Structure 1
Amino acid sequence: MTDDDRREHRTVGDVDLTTWRTRLGRTVSSAWVRLGARFGALPLLIVTLLIGIGVASVCTWAASEVYEGVREADDAAVLDRPVLDWMMTLRSPVLDTAVTWWTNVAGTIGMPIVALGFLVGFTIQRRAWTPVVLLMAASAGSLLMTVAGKDLIGRARPPLADAVPPFEHSPSFPSGHTLNATVVVGTIVYLLLLRESRRVTRVWTVVLGTAFVVSIGVSRVFLGHHWSTDVLAAWALGLAWLAVVVTAHRLYLTAVRHRDEDVPTAQAVRPSR
């Protein structure tokens, strides 16, 4: 593998992901470089992601506590009911069918198919296990957050009279479709950015990925399957977990760079001037 190939895997445009510009980032990455040299970069990535799943669980618990406070103050109802009422005015038989089809792309069948398709492509193209580890860990954390959030809150969905069939009966908070789409598609977008050299391609990748995630969230409210606050919480939790996954991968890349280039630890994490 050439130096250019290595750099392509650890940069997004002109941004080197192994460069840490904050003191905390440099301290943590220096420790990860030393641990990576001792135990191996990939095992360390797996351990980091497992720790991250624990962090995701804490974030889900914290979100449930915040939501309980909002619900007790009836602040959620101020937003939820008007938004759903407005969405209901936009419905038509044709649009209802189209949106139902679209939201199923992020469902329990559609989203695994999307993830598996990209996973096979990444694995064949890169001949590496890193995309497999990242997508599996991201998906596992997302699923855990969805299940934990529903069990902790147990919020009822909007009335069936306000929903478009087929009806759903599991707890409403958070929106699993939205959370899983945010995390899985966000991870796919991140992995694609590592391989794209043209700025216009990177921009369109981010735009399309964002549009997909936003449209899935909106579709859940449009169909009356979730309240708007369920979707907002799912976006927030999904982005938080995605940030953990990307940070874990950056630490992995820093350890790999140090191993491959034999760069002293301080130099490996020092920001460029």
Structure 2
Amino acid sequence: MTDPSTPAASAPTPHDRRIGRRDLTEWRSRPGQRLAERHLTVAKRIGARRALVTTLAVGGGIAVAATAGAAYIYDGVTGRDGIQSLDRPALERAKRLRSPLANGVAATIAHVFGPVAMPALTLGSAAAFAIRDRRASPVTVLLAAGAGSLAMTLLGKDLIKRNRPRRRDAIPPFETSPSFPSGHTLNTTTIIGTLAYLLALRQERTAPQVAIIGGAAGTAATVGLSRVLLGAHWFTDVAVGWVTGAGWLSMIITSHRLYLSTQDDDSVDE
């Protein structure tokens, strides 16, 4: 799908829009094709960048609403249906895996992917993409990922106000904010996932793409499990962080794919 107003020189090269052999601007399902057509119509009216921001805003609203819904459902069924029965066994198993080395690694992970380092990584990566690519779209996508995941984390914590595991079951330093959902897990899943997606698009070969995406998935899994090992979160807090983070990540990627489908990389006069 090509915007006739776009100069051919500004169109993304094939490796700027491919994951493996898949061209991300190709929509194979009928709903995907209709979505791409509607997005292109909007992009022609308001410009590709504004259309990207609009799509991310709509997706962010859906993600936040879904987080609120998930929180209320979780709160309603936890006691009655025994979801918490998963948490105590998971914590006891994690405690048996503790050792000075494991504890130290988990604590380091908590700092590296914590509430200070992750925003710094988001802003630093956005600046690096802006300087390297001279395009607004990677910056927009990364900032949206960070802002959306932060909003989802704060909303979930405010709605549920779930207590963390007891201090005698945790490893210091102790945290006092509500436990649900795991902010470390949600933010890592979204931000590292978005960064991996953008980096993978810039690889010409499949093997580096697989390595980058696999590394991001492994990082999100490791961060989540380390939170249980430390006794900083219950397992279900982490599981919801994975699910909601992956949901927001999928919306971010879809928004960027729609942007690429316009074949217009920041060249529309706005």
Common topology (TM > 0.5): yes
Alpha carbons of structure 1 residues 3 and 151: separation in structure 2 relative to 1, 3 Å: closer
Aligned partner of 1:169 in structure 2 is 176
Please give the residue correspondences for 1:163-202 in structure 2 after superposition, counting only pairs within 5 Å: 163-202=170-209
- Alignment pair present for 1:7 and 2:11: no
- Aligned partner letter, 1:122: F
1:86 is paired with a residue of what secondary structure? Answer: helix
Find the partner of 1:84 among 87, 91, 97.
91
Aligned counterparts of 1:96 and 1:45: Cα–Cα separation in 2? 42
- Aligned partner letter, 1:238: G
Aligned counterparts of 2:178 and 2:88: Cα–Cα separation in 1? 17
Please give the residue correspondences for 1:1-273 in structure 2 after superposition, counting only pairs within 5 Å: 2=9, 5-257=12-264
Aligned counterparts of 1:41 and 1:4: Cα–Cα separation in 2? 12
Shift of 1:28: 1.5
- Check whether the contact 2:175–2:232 (CA below 8 A) recurs between aligned residues: yes
- Check whether the contact 1:177–1:217 (CA below 8 A) recurs between aligned residues: yes
1:73 is paired with a residue of what secondary structure? Answer: helix
Q: How many residues align?
A: 260
- Check whether the contact 1:33–1:258 (CA below 8 A) recurs between aligned residues: no
Aligned partner of 1:266 in structure 2 is none
Shift of 1:91: 1.4
Shift of 1:2: 4.8
For the aligned residues, what is the CA RMSD?
Answer: 1.8
| Structure 1 stretches of 4+ moved >4 Å | 1-5, 257-260
Specify every segment of 5 or more residues in structure 2 that has no aligned partner in the other structure, as ranges.
Answer: 1-7
Per-residue CA deviation, residues 16-35 of structure 1 (Å, 9 max, x unaligned), is: 11111111111111111111
- Check whether the contact 1:80–1:229 (CA below 8 A) recurs between aligned residues: yes
- Check whether the contact 1:142–1:238 (CA below 8 A) recurs between aligned residues: yes
Name which of structure 1's ranges 4-13 and 243-252 shifts more when overlaid on structure 2.
4-13
Specify every segment of 5 or more residues in structure 1 that has no aligned partner in the other structure, as ranges.
Answer: 261-273
Per-residue CA deviation, residues 241-261 of structure 1 (Å, 9 max, x unaligned), is: 00111111111111235998x
Aligned partner of 1:264 in structure 2 is none
Per-residue CA deviation, residues 198-219 of structure 1 (Å, 9 max, x unaligned), is: 1111111112111111110001
Shift of 1:124: 1.9
Alpha carbons of structure 1 residues 116 and 217: separation in structure 2 relative to 1, 3 Å: same
Aligned counterparts of 1:97 and 1:123: Cα–Cα separation in 2? 35
Name which of structure 1's ranges 44-53 and 118-127 shifts more when overlaid on structure 2.
118-127
Shift of 1:75: 1.7
- Aligned partner letter, 1:101: T
Alpha carbons of structure 1 residues 37 and 164: separation in structure 2 relative to 1, 3 Å: same
- Check whether the contact 2:135–2:265 (CA below 8 A) recurs between aligned residues: no
TM-score norm. by structure 1 comes to 0.90
Name which of structure 1's ranges 128-137 and 118-127 shifts more when overlaid on structure 2.
118-127
Identity of matched residues, %: 42
TM-score norm. by structure 2 comes to 0.91
Per-residue CA deviation, residues 70-94 of structure 1 (Å, 9 max, x unaligned), is: 3122522211001101111121233
Alpha carbons of structure 1 residues 57 and 136: separation in structure 2 relative to 1, 3 Å: same
- Aligned partner letter, 1:6: T
- Check whether the contact 1:9–1:195 (CA below 8 A) recurs between aligned residues: yes
